[in-house]
Structure 1
Amino acid sequence: MPAADPDRLPVFVYGTLRPGGRNHRAHLAGRTTAVRPGTLPGAALHDGPGYPYLVACPGRSVHGELVTLDPARYAEVLAALDHLEDCRPDGSGEYVRRRLEVTGAGGEPEPAWVYLAGAAVEAALRERPALIASGDWLRR
């Protein structure tokens, strides 16, 4: 189900921000209203030094969760996630945040915020891939 406010999208989490992950506890636990399964088509999951990166890749998909942030804390939590992911307004950070279509458990695509590898990280991964074939960080 799409978010009512076009700027207050759920966040697609696929690594350490997933429930049970160390960054979920630190940044999302108690700050969400819903967590649902989701799949991002057209992306590949790569193993970084202790955390994953997403890179656009036709024919692949990544599994994770769609996390609905508590509306009262939405801006605060999204800013904290941007900081955690080194997501910079100019796009030069370790990750970039993009609005992409994620397929929910019911099979319907919906918009969500997704953190992708930033340009420098993506270039390095394309040169030396560290692909997680399952597309699932929990099954790596």
Structure 2
Amino acid sequence: MQTEPMIMPQSPCASRHVFVYGTLRRGGRNDIARFDPPARFVGAASVAGTLYDLGSYPGAVLGGDGVLTGEVYAIDPALEAQLDVLEGVRPDDSGEYIKRELRVRVGALEIDCLVYEIHPSRIVGRPAITSGNWLDRAPPFS
């Protein structure tokens, strides 16, 4: 008799990963290290996308030929909830950012990560940051 594999629910304390590309990066205005509970740095990473200059922070559209430079962190659910508020995420995807999940390469690893993608209505008329690196555009402590 063949049995179905058992899928165990994820513990509410289990960490997830987030890819950050803007002010949440190390040295940024909203450096993720300032949050409590603390995030754990996993590594530098990049994903396909286009970065847009929204003034004092960036927004990314995922996919395409461009490359976004960022960092991956392990976070717990309490920090994820804080990031959702900071990024203006709404359950109906009408907020400033839309929370996505995608596979990100960090060194030799591939990790499922949350990524906050800007709502398409927010980038109309905004310039792209062609390097894909927010730190090329903004001083680290702005």
Q: Give the TM-score of the pair, scaled to structure 2.
A: 0.78
After the TM superposition, list the runs of 4 or more consecutive aligned residues in structure 1 that deviate by more than 3 angstroms. 5-8, 25-30
Cα distance, 1:49 vs structure 2: 1.8
Cα distance, 1:26 vs structure 2: 7.1
1:24 aligns with 2:31: yes
Which whole-Å CA distance do the structure 2 matches of 1:113 and 1:87 have between them?
12
Q: 2:51 aligns with which of 45, 69, 86?
A: 45
Q: Hey, what does 1:132 align to over in structure 2? A: 129
Which whole-Å CA distance do the structure 1 matches of 2:22 and 2:86 have between them?
13
Q: 1:77 to 1:86 in 2, by over 3 A?
A: same
Residues 23 and 30 in structure 2, CA contact (< 8 A), matched pair in contact too: yes
Which whole-Å CA distance do the structure 1 matches of 2:68 and 2:45 have between them?
9
Q: Hey, what does 2:93 align to over in structure 1? A: 91
1:60 aligns with 2:60: no
Deviations 1:102-138 (A, max 9, x none): 22123x432100000114224x2xxx24111111111
Match of 1:56, as an amino acid? L
Residues 18 and 65 in structure 1, CA contact (< 8 A), matched pair in contact too: yes
Please, what is the CA RMSD of the aligned residues?
Answer: 2.2
Q: 1:80 to 1:49 in 2, by over 3 A?
A: same
1:103 aligns with 2:110: no
Which whole-Å CA distance do the structure 2 matches of 1:37 and 1:114 have between them?
14
Deviates more, 1:58-67 or 1:18-27: 18-27
Q: Hey, what does 1:76 align to over in structure 2? A: 78
Which whole-Å CA distance do the structure 1 matches of 2:98 and 2:83 have between them?
11
Residues 32 and 39 in structure 2, CA contact (< 8 A), matched pair in contact too: no
Q: Give the TM-score of the pair, scaled to structure 1.
A: 0.79
Residues 38 and 66 in structure 1, CA contact (< 8 A), matched pair in contact too: yes
> Which structure 1 segments of 5+ residues have no match?
none
Residues 37 and 79 in structure 2, CA contact (< 8 A), matched pair in contact too: no
Match of 1:18, as an amino acid? R
Deviations 1:48-100 (A, max 9, x none): 1200000134111100000112xxxx121111100000011110000000001
Bigger Rg, structure 1 or 2? 2
Q: Hey, what does 2:4 align to over in structure 1? A: none
